[in-house]
Amino acid sequence: MTTGNEDPASETHSALPGGHRTARLGQFMRRFRSESLPTLFQPIITALLLLALWQIIVVAFKVPIYIFPSPTEAIEKGIRYAPRIWANYSTTLQSAFLGYLLAVAISVPGSLLIAYSAFAEKSFFPGLVLLHMTPKVTLAPIIIAWLGFGVLPKVVVTALLCFMPIMLNGILGFRSIDPEIVYLSQSCGARPWEMFWKVRLPNALPTLFTGLKHAASLALVGAVIAEFIGGNRGLGYQLVTVMDNMQTDLGLAIMVAMTTIGLVFFFGMQALEGLTIPWHVSKRRQEGR
Amino acid sequence: MTASSKQSLSSRLVERIRAASYPVGTAVVGLALWEAGVRLFRVPRFVLPPPTSIVVEGLNRSASIITPHFWVTLYEASVGLAAAILIAIPLGLIFSYSTFLRRSFYPLIVFIDEVPKIAFAPLLVTWFGFGLEPKMILTFIVCFFPIFLNSMAGFSAIEEEFINLGRSAGAREWEVFWKIRFQSAMPNVFVGLKMAAASAMTGAVVAEFLAADQGLGLFLQKALSQLNMALGFATIAAMWVIGLAFFYGMTLIESWAIRWHVSRRRGQQEIL
């Protein structure tokens, strides 16, 4: 078996270093479907062994539950508190989703503007690249100071984090088109809207989806950080309060719940990508083999 | 010969200045609009201070208050990043040599990478208290995964032909490792290093937001709780200095360490 995780083809589509992480999960899932059974079971067996080891160590050394609970204790607590976790889960999911939508609604038209207008590109693009590198999480306390403790500040922080990957990949996608394709369609008499709808947009979509998937993995982070700082609901808030009470077992259960939100986002975008640009996804799958 | 190259150099300089005039112009116009808007509409200072008062406030307080916190945050982030580099790169190398380790752990690590790392912050604070340790450890966790995964990919993705060529040219085993395997993995390793460098400061600051007795994250919270927005913005600027210094520092090291790499050539520089 080759490691298979280094598929340079999919990485060249990304404008950002962070695109690699989502690419990795996607590649892994693709391989997951084509792998033989023993190879599939090996990581599962490792996971079970590690969990068993964890359980044995905690029980044998009588580690206090508030320091490090055993997996069974965390699972038990998670099930017992499931209704409360679920209530916060839906709050966080909602904030992350709305923030993500806001980012998409601003950055996709924005990337179009920059890709089509030389003036806008020259004026804003270098600033955007610089802005992408500035840590936007640092703005979270200010946004909360402005907007209070409701849902809105979480939505804005999430949008702030998701904005740049979509924007930069969108610009890259809309800009990088083979001129020959443009010439060919023009000499075939394509009208401007046909040019956009049938040539430029489909050409940009694979790159745009790279940005959308990268942003999808950031949406949860934005919502959770905002809830850490100024929340009265949501998984981030619940995690902080639970840990203040030293309920580490419940804390671990909440972290697992958070992770599933991230996975929901990622696989949601993956599915949408498969529906929107099946021609590209299937091509990539063949290359992966 | 020299004259023509000189001329092209100066014309390139003019070209650069012309290209830079657009973003600089946008920034100046933006700041001017901010300043004028805030003063014209008498926006209260505790909502949005004008840029000039942020600069004044920042300069006034920098020596006495901001600087000590700045060093604390810089120290936490540096230690966390350094620990991640020292552990993740060798571990990536080990994983690249062992198919057994890769098969057993790689899928698990990919999934653990999907856990939002900042969610460890409350746990670390509970375990390690208010000191510097939880910040360093959170920075380490944030930085570890991109470096490890990209190093592993880099060390694994070596074309056997190079190694065979090196061997038939009589290279010894350590030469094959050092001159071929290590060198050709570097571009990938640096992808991970740059991702880690970009987020190192974030790890330290998020942990400081939650519980700290010093550091810029704590200071920002304090300034905002007193509704001193100008000081808050100045603190954020100090955080950005750390974040950008890490990222561009790493980019500099990269361009020195792997001058030969394709992505360092002009064409692909456009995006980052």
Residues A72-88 have pLDDT tens digits of: 888 988 899 999 999 99
Q: How far is B51 from chain A (nearest CA, A)?
A: 15
Assign B82 a pLDDT band (cuts: 50, 70, 90): very high
Distance of CA B11 to the CA centre of its chain: 33
Scanning the structure block, which residue is given the tokens 């745009």?
A208
State whether the Cα torsion A78-A80-A83-A84 is positive or negative: negative
Residue A156: per-residue pLDDT: 94
For chain B, give the percent of residues with pLDDT over 90.
24
Which of these, A50, A40, A45, lies nearest to A1 by C-alpha position? A40
Q: Is the pLDDT of residue B134 over 50?
A: yes
Residue A3 lies in a domain: no
Long-range contacts of A122-130 (CB under 8 A, 24+ apart): A122/B19, A122/B22, A122/B23, A123/B22, A123/B23, A123/B25, A123/B26, A124/B23, A124/B26, A125/A171, A125/B23, A126/B20, A126/B22, A126/B23, A127/B23, A127/B26, A127/B27, A128/A164, A128/A167, A128/A168, A128/A171, A129/A168, A129/B271, A129/B272
For chain A, give the percent of residues with pLDDT over 90.
25
Interface of A with B in 127-156 (CB under 8 A): 127, 129, 133-135, 137-142, 145-146
With CB atoms and an 8 Å threshold, state whether B119 touches A258. Answer: yes
- Using CA atoms, how far apart are residues A23 and A5, in angstroms rounded to an integer? 9
Task: With residue B87 as reference, give the H or E element that holds it.
Answer: helix B67-97
Residue A157 CB coordination number (10 Å): 30
Contacts of B191 in chain A (CB under 8 A): 17, 20
Contacts of B122 in chain A (CB under 8 A): 228, 239-240, 242-244, 251
- Using CA atoms, how far apart are residues B157 and B148, in angstroms rounded to an integer? 14
Query: Could you tell me the two tokens for A204?
Result: 């940009």
Phi-psi group of B214: left, alpha or beta (phi > 0 → left; psi -120 to 50 → alpha; rest → beta): beta
pLDDT tens digits, one per residue of A238-287: 999 998 888 888 999 999 999 999 888 888 888 898 888 887 766 665 55
Contact A44, A226 (CB under 8 A): no
* Overall average pLDDT of the A52-63 stretch: 88
Residue A1: per-residue pLDDT: 32
How big is chain B, counted in residues?
272
Q: Is the pLDDT of residue B81 over 90?
A: yes
* Three-class SS state of A128: helix
Residue A21: per-residue pLDDT: 59
- Top pLDDT among B65 and A99 is at A99
Q: Which range, A57-71, A203-217, B135-149, B161-175, has the best average confidence (pLDDT)?
A: B135-149
Query: Could you tell me the two tokens for B245?
Result: 């210094």
* Three-class SS state of A16: coil
* Overall average pLDDT of the B158-185 stretch: 81
With CB atoms and an 8 Å threshold, state whether A240 touches B122. Answer: yes
Domain range holding A76?
A: 71-288
Residue A6: per-residue pLDDT: 35
pLDDT tens digits, one per residue of B22-41: 778 888 888 899 899 988 88
Residue A12 lies in a domain: no
Residue A14: per-residue pLDDT: 42
Which of these, B206, B191, B111, B248, lies nearest to A136 by C-alpha position? B206
Residue A247 lies in a domain: yes
Residue A37: per-residue pLDDT: 64
* Three-class SS state of B148: helix
pLDDT tens digits, one per residue of B186-243: 888 998 999 899 889 999 999 998 888 888 999 998 888 888 888 889 999 889 899 9
Q: Is the pLDDT of residue B56 over 50?
A: yes
Interface of A with B in 41-60 (CB under 8 A): 42-43, 45-47, 50
Count up the domains in chain A and report the number.
1
Torsion, Cα A235 A239 A245 A246, to 10 degrees, reads 140
- Top pLDDT among A146 and B8 is at A146
Contacts of B151 in chain A (CB under 8 A): none
Assign A3 a pLDDT band (cuts: 50, 70, 90): very low
Q: How far is CA B171 from CA B164, B166, B168, B175, B180, in A?
A: 10, 5, 7, 6, 10
Residue A289: per-residue pLDDT: 41
Contact B224, A145 (CB under 8 A): yes
Residue A76 lies in a domain: yes
Where residue A177 sits, what CATH number does that domain have?
1.10.3720.10
Of chain A, the end-to-end C-alpha distance in Å amounts to 12
For chain B, give the percent of residues with pLDDT over 70.
93
Residue A108: per-residue pLDDT: 92
Of chain B, the end-to-end C-alpha distance in Å amounts to 33
- Mean pLDDT in chain A? 82
Contact A129, B271 (CB under 8 A): yes
Contact B219, B235 (CB under 8 A): yes
Q: Which range, A40-44, A184-188, B169-173, has the best average confidence (pLDDT)?
A: A184-188
Residue B154: per-residue pLDDT: 87
Residue A5: per-residue pLDDT: 36
Residue of B nearest to A1 (CA): B99
Residue A21 lies in a domain: no
Say which range, A55-64, A277-286, B96-105, has the weakest mean pLDDT.
A277-286
Residue of B nearest to A31 (CA): B107
Q: How far is B158 from chain A (nearest CA, A)?
A: 10
- Using CA atoms, how far apart are residues A248 and A4, in angstroms rounded to an integer? 37
Residue B85: per-residue pLDDT: 95
Residue B21: per-residue pLDDT: 80
Q: How far is CA A89 from CA A84, A93, B137, B221, in A?
A: 8, 6, 26, 26
Residue of B nearest to A18 (CA): B195
- Using CA atoms, how far apart are residues B146 and A218, in angstroms rounded to an integer? 15
- Using CA atoms, how far apart are residues B116 and A265, in angstroms rounded to an integer? 13
Q: What are phi and psi of A75, to 5 degrees?
A: -65, -45
- Using CA atoms, how far apart are residues A8 and A221, in angstroms rounded to an integer? 27
DSSP letter assigned to residue B265: S
Residue B203 CB coordination number (10 Å): 30
State whether the Cα torsion B35-B36-B37-B40 is positive or negative: positive
- Mean pLDDT in chain B? 84
pLDDT tens digits, one per residue of B111-131: 888 888 888 999 998 888 888
Residue A33: per-residue pLDDT: 63
Residue A34: per-residue pLDDT: 62
Residue B248 CB coordination number (10 Å): 14
Query: Could you tell me the two tokens for A203?
Result: 């050409």
Contact A136, A165 (CB under 8 A): no
Contact B50, B38 (CB under 8 A): yes
The closest CB to that of B205, out of A126, A137, A242, belongs to: A137
Residue B97: per-residue pLDDT: 85
Query: Could you tell me the two tokens for B183?
Result: 């060198």
